């Protein structure tokens, strides 16, 4: 209400021991002291706003070192490109990227961010799902042109396959059909111990291989 505003202004004038407003029956105007006081108050409010935004990090450019861990292949193919873009965008940040397939202890190893694939055990750590992966069966265009494209998992029995120890049994492949496991016996023409080797052999036309979807780019 205007009466409350008028009373508060009068109290402020008494506190400052000066007149801030020229009063007439038609209007109110600022005195010289009023103009100076208003400008000072606006400047103070702006400084308080800047201080709050600075304290809240609005004006702070990210700085320091960020320690990240990720699986070897996934990290090289998918994390490293993101890291290089991040470094270009934030020149005051340094990153230590550790690629390894062992499970690191985040607190003990002073790791800020860990990228994991698979189900995580319960812990006090905060986890955010950023995507999903699956298995894919792939081969080179030359192999498929020569031997045909399998349309169902069962047709893999008639194809040459490249298997590797990372997916369990070397003589069978397991698929999920209508939420039930479907096991397909396969002929393993080539057995290797890494997915990278299996992919290279598939590119060379040796046969079909099954790998995780993120390993195919």
- Set out the domains of the chain in order of their start, with CATH numbers: 2-55 (1.10.10.10), 64-114 (3.40.190.10), 135-215 (3.40.190.290)
- From residue 210, how far is each of 132, 175, 204, 216 by CA, in Å? 17, 11, 15, 10
User: 27 pLDDT band (50/70/90 cuts)?
Assistant: confident
Reported as type and span, the H/E element at residue 183 is: strand 180-185
Question: What is the bridge-based pairing of β-strands 208-212 and 160-164?
Answer: parallel
User: 125 pLDDT band (50/70/90 cuts)?
Assistant: confident
What pLDDT digit, counting tens, does each position of 62-100 carry? 888 999 999 988 999 999 999 999 999 999 899 999 998
Question: What is the bridge-based pairing of β-strands 180-185 and 172-177?
Answer: antiparallel
Interval 149-157 mean pLDDT:
90
How far is residue 84 CA from its own chain's centroid? 14
- Flag whether pLDDT at 172 surpasses 60: yes
Name the average pLDDT for the chain. Answer: 87
Non-local CB neighbours of 179 within 8 Å, separated by 6+ positions: none
The predicted model scores a pTM of 0.60
């Amino acid at each position: 209400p205007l009466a409350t505003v008028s009373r508060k202004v009068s109290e402020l004038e008494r506190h400052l021991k000066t007149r801030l407003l020229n009063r007439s029956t038609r209007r109110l105007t600022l005195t010289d002291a009023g103009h100076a006081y208003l400008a000072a108050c606006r400047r103070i409010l702006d400084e308080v706003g800047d201080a709050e935004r600075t304290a809240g990090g609005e004006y702070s450019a990210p700085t320091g070192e960020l320690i990240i861990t990720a699986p070897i292949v996934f990290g090289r193919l998918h994390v490293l490109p993101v890291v290089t873009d991040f470094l270009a965008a934030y020149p005051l940040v340094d990153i230590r990227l550790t690629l390894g397939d062992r499970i690191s202890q985040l607190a003990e190893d002073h790791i800020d961010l860990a990228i994991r694939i698979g189900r995580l055990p319960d812990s006090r750590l905060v986890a955010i799902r950023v995507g999903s992966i699956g298995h894919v069966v792939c081969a080179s265009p030359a192999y498929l042109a020569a031997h045909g494209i399998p349309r169902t998992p069962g047709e893999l029995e008639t194809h040459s396959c490249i298997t590797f120890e990372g997916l369990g049994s070397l003589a069978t492949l397991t698929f999920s059909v209508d939420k039930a496991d479907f096991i397909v016996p396969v002929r393993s023409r080539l057995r290797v111990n890494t997915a990278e080797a299996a992919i290279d052999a598939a590119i060379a036309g040796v046969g079909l291989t099954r790998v995780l979807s993120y390993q195919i780019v």
